[in-house]
Structure 1
Amino acid sequence: MKRARGGALLVASSVLWLPAQSLAAVVRVPADAQSIHAGVAAAQAGDTVLIAPGTYYEHDIELKDGITVLGEGRNEPAVTIDAVGLGRIMNAHNPTVKPMHAHIEGITFRNGFASTGGGIAASGSDFGFELEIVSCAFVANIAQRGGGLYVQAGNGSLIDCRFDGNTAVHGGGLACADACMTNVKAVSALRCEFVGNAATMAGGAVDVGMHSLHMTDCILEDNQAQMGGAVHSSNYNSAGCRLQGCVFARNIATEGGAFHSMEDVLFIANCLFTENRAKVGGAAWISYPRDAVIRSCTFARNAAPKASGICFSEVPLLSLEQSILADGADGNAIACIWNGELLELTCCDVYGNEGGDWVGCIADQLGVSGNISLDPRFCLGQNPSSPYSLQAGSPCAEGNDGECGQIGALGVGCEDTSIVQTSISAIKVLY
């Protein structure tokens, strides 16, 4: 088999991580190796396995330490690996006493089937691994844990990936765990989409335990589970869950329509939760937080008979700041089960929720610390691409409440309705 060196590396110039470049080779599939399985087997640390566009019907591919697996093509992955339900597509296991590193880019993983990680399962020793996955899609994979991807005892980085229609018992799209509960690892997702995934138990899109989870600028839509329609996080060792700039829409669960958390350290900022549904906690259910801050978020048009917005259970310390909870259906905006005395709201607008706004465990906080109950005046149809941005005259817009600054996840996105109506009236007068 030929192993191209030197100038051949130019074809893989988009790879973000490529160790030992001076010694690296490119193994081309199908030119140098007839299958992806054979190409990966032939690669050595520092090599790139470059896959030509097409669909490859393969499964049980063993990923090696130090290699890059790259699908040719840009934007939508032009390379698909379809396991047709015959097994896991790719396995990354590190049994050694040194960290494992690998990079995967530009591949669709479809129809994988396994007990963990139908698309990819990555597991490591106490020394773990570093797995970077870029511009990949996980579609219609099935597993008990992590329908699309399962990560155990290692660090994973997802960039510009899509999880679509995967199913599992825990973590329809992605599941993370640390069996040893020591040397806690982290999984991050940047600009990823989780759409239409399902779990029969927890985390329709993502289920995390004993891992630190960081999600930034992600979209999570139309996922469902019993607990946490989109995300379920149970980090009993204070690993932490950080969500920033994410959109949670139309997710469904029994508890926590979009988000469910147990014994976690939470930081949620600049996120939009809209049209999520549950029996308890239309947008979120947060239990036993060790420390939690929710800042500059918008909760709009979520629904649940108990707590259309957020349900808190046993809250030792939680701060809800500069956030909007509006237009919730059925239940009150916020409900507390058991100890809710230390739930502190600052500069929040709670308005228009069917079951009540400043009631229950937050009844005494209206009018103090910048808290209000006024129509946030969303743009809605005036800005279809950002319906929950604010009209210029919104009481939540920056500059309209000097004490608090902007309230909610989104800034001004349209003119005031009254200004638009006046302008139309003025035009009619001219004719």
Structure 2
Amino acid sequence: MCKSGGGILCRNGSNPTIVNVHFVDNYGRYGGGFYAYNAEPTVIDCTFWNNSVELQGGAILCTTASPMIIGCTIYGNTAPDQGGGLFAEEGSFPVLERTIIAGSLDGGSVLSLPGSAISLSCCNIYGNAGGDWVACIQDQYGFDGNIYADPLFCLPEAGDFTLQSGSSCLYSHHPGGWVCGLIGAHPIGCPASSVADGSVEAATWGGLKARINR
């Protein structure tokens, strides 16, 4: 078992640009897919799927780190001690743009501890066990293009994260009219399903919490 960063570990000023990498089936004590420690890497158009940890940060863990995470799909990751998608601690300030965090199996979408903060724009956070727009990011929901909608992946159980033609993650279907471009790492890949239409329901924050935490 890798102690930190099951897929990639960046530390002590290591600031690579990582593009179009698939982090799949990794496991570590901390940061199942990717761990940034005292570093500012840039992660672009990457997919994090089915990564898990013993403690925090199923897909991504940040410790005194401020990575840029752009156009990524983060799906089906697990963290028993919170942060299924991303965990930020000890003065970390990760920035996420045009990224999907969905389907975490445990640990909720994200968690930032006091002294850290997660910044999101044009992100879709949906369907995470343990909560989606949780307390540390709830004030960003509905602003800067951030949404709560089924991404409508074509076949996620088989690792196909391309989007159905009705997905709200496509630039032409963004429910708020924001000019976000594509949200996530994968483009359209199949027709719209007859079961779901990708719409986003208007709701109060209280009503949203009742739906996503049930």
Identify the TM-score tier after normalising by the shorter chain.
0.7 to 0.9
Change (3 A) 1:316 1:285: closer
Q: Distance in 2 between matches of 1:315 and 1:296?
A: 24
Identify which of structures 1 and 2 has the higher relative contact order when contacts are C-alpha pairs closer than 8 Å and 6+ apart: 2
**Where do 1:411-426 residues align within 5 Å?**
411-418=187-194
Q: Which residue of 2 aligns with 1:233?
A: 10
> Post-superposition shift, 1:354?
0.7
| Distance (Å, rounded) in 2 between the aligned partners of 1:354 and 1:374 | 15
Is 1:330 aligned with 2:106?
A: yes
Higher alpha-carbon deviation: 241-250 or 332-341: 332-341
Q: Secondary structure at the match of 1:399?
A: helix
- Give the 3-state SS of the residue equivalent to 1:254 in structure 2: strand
User: Aligned pair 1:398/2:171, yes or no?
Assistant: yes
Equivalent of residue 277 in structure 1, options 44, 47, 52 = 52
Task: Decide which of 373, 384, 387 is 2:148's aligned counterpart.
Answer: 373
Whole-Å separation in 2 of the counterparts to 1:262 and 1:286: 6
TM-score by length of 1: 0.42
Q: What corresponds to 2:75 in structure 1? A: 300
SS in 1 for 2:10: strand
State the number of aligned residues: 191
CA deviation string 1:341-394 (max 9, x = no partner):
4x2100000000010001121111101111011100110179x5x611111100
Q: Report whether the alignment pairs 1:389 with 2:162.
A: yes
Q: Deviations over 1:278-328 (max 9, x none)?
A: 121110111111x42110000000111211111011345431100000010
Q: Give 1 or 2: higher strand fraction.
A: 1
Bigger radius of gyration, 1 or 2? 1
Q: Which runs of 4+ in 1 moved over 2 A?
A: 314-318
1:214-225 mapped onto 2 (5 Å cutoff): 224-225=1-2
Distance 1:226 1:406, change over 3 A: same
Report the CA distance shift for 1:298/1:315 in structure 2 as closer, same or farther (over 3 A).
Answer: farther
Counterpart for residue 205 of structure 2:
none
Give the Cα–Cα distance (whole angstroms) in 2 for the partners of residues 241 and 229 of structure 1.
Answer: 17
Query: Share of identical aligned residues, percent?
Result: 34
Unaligned runs of 5+ residues in structure 1 are 1-223, 420-431
Q: CA deviation at 1:241?
A: 2.3
Residue among 129, 143, 153 paired with 1:354: 129
Tell me, in whole angstroms, the C-alpha distance in 2 between the residues paired with 1:268 and 1:226.
Answer: 21
Give the letter for the 1:414 counterpart. C
- List alignment gaps of at least 5 residues for structure 2: 196-214
SS of the residue 1:376 aligns to: coil
Distance in structure 1 (CA, Å) of the matches to 2:151 and 2:90: 30
Contact residue 241 and residue 264 of structure 1 kept, 8 A: no
Is contact 2:36–2:67 with CA below 8 Å preserved after alignment? Answer: no
Change (3 A) 1:233 1:328: same
Partner deviation per Cα, 1:73-108 (whole Å, 9 max, x = no partner)? xxxxxxxxxxxxxxxxxxxxxxxxxxxxxxxxxxxx
Q: 1:271 to 1:324 in 2, by over 3 A?
A: same
Q: Deviations over 1:121-156 (max 9, x none)?
A: xxxxxxxxxxxxxxxxxxxxxxxxxxxxxxxxxxxx
- Whole-angstrom CA distance in 1 between matches of 2:47 and 2:143: 24
Aligned-partner Cα distance in 2 for 1:377–1:347: 16
- Which residue identity lines up with residue 115 of structure 2 in the other structure? N
